[in-house]
Amino acid sequence: MKRTDLINRLRVAGYHDDQAALVRLYTENRIRYDKAIRTFDEGKRLRRSGVRCDCYECRREAHAPPQGYGILGAAAWERGES
């Protein structure tokens, strides 16, 4: 994994307060502990300041159709029909 990808994943883990991801990323990659913790805390700070998360799961949830639409209703929702 590239260092920039690792930093971004640590930041996302901090945003979601995912301690397990922090430990996994730290142990699987070559990064200093203090840098990992600072980046994790930076993600927490971004969440507190109201910055929107741009990870895959959050983007998918933001664009998901409302509950109760079903499969056919979801296609209509995506086309803008109600």
Q: How many CA atoms lie within 13 A of 75 on its CB side?
A: 2
Kindly report whether the global pTM for this prediction surpasses the value 0.85: no
What residues have CB less than 8 Å from 78, skipping those under 6 apart? 65
Ranges 26-35, 53-62, 65-74: which has the least confidence: 65-74
> Binning pLDDT at 50, 70 and 90, where does residue 29 land?
very high
29: nearest Cα among 56, 61, 7, 49:
7
> Model confidence over 30-54: pLDDT tens digits?
999 999 999 999 999 999 988 888 8
